[in-house]
Amino acid sequence: GQQVMQIPQYQHVQEGEDFTTYCNSSTTLSNIQWYKQRPGGHPVFLIQLVKSGEVKKQKRLTFQFGEAKKNSSLHITATQTTDVGTYFCAGMGDSGGSNYKLTFGKGTLLTVNP
């Protein structure tokens, strides 16, 4: 079945440093979504990427979808303590027919030292 690998598992940075998490799928994806889960909270949708090579920005966050639609990345510039949490990627398969499930990566836990 489809697998989505996410690295690193943990990342600790000093406030102001940059942060990147990477997501790789074993199969081609129709789209990829990114979620953030604060400690003790639930996942909250950040963005969805659909097109090959797509790049989207949200303030200090930059999301990329690979040309082959099998990998993606999330980059945060100049981290802040409010960025703390676990970042998940979630891929939707591109196998044709009905496939109504997202496969989540295991997430990257980001901690920020003020």
Partner 1 sequence: KAGVTQTPRYLIKTRGQQVTLSCSPISGHRSVSWYQQTPGQGLQFLFEYFSETQRNKGNFPGRFSGRQFSNSRSEMNVSTLELGDSALYLCASSSNGEWEITDTQYFGPGTRLTVL
Strands 102-104 and 85-93, bridge-based pairing: antiparallel
CB closer to partner 1 out of 33 and 64 = 33
Instruction: Quote the least distance from Cβ 62 to partner 1, whole Å.
Output: 19
Contact (CB, 8 A) for 58 and 73: no
Residue (1 or 114) nearer to partner 1, CB: 1
Distance of CA 57 to the CA centre of its chain: 13
CA distance 88 to 101: 15
- Tokens (6 digits) for 9: 């598992």
Considering only residues 75-94, where is the footprint of partner 1 by CB under 8 A?
88, 90, 92
Task: Scan residues 16-55 and list those touching partner 1 (CB under 8 A).
Answer: 30-31, 33, 35, 41-45, 48, 50
Report the interface residues with partner 1, using CB under 8 A. Answer: 1, 30-31, 33, 35, 41-45, 48, 50, 88, 90, 92, 98-107
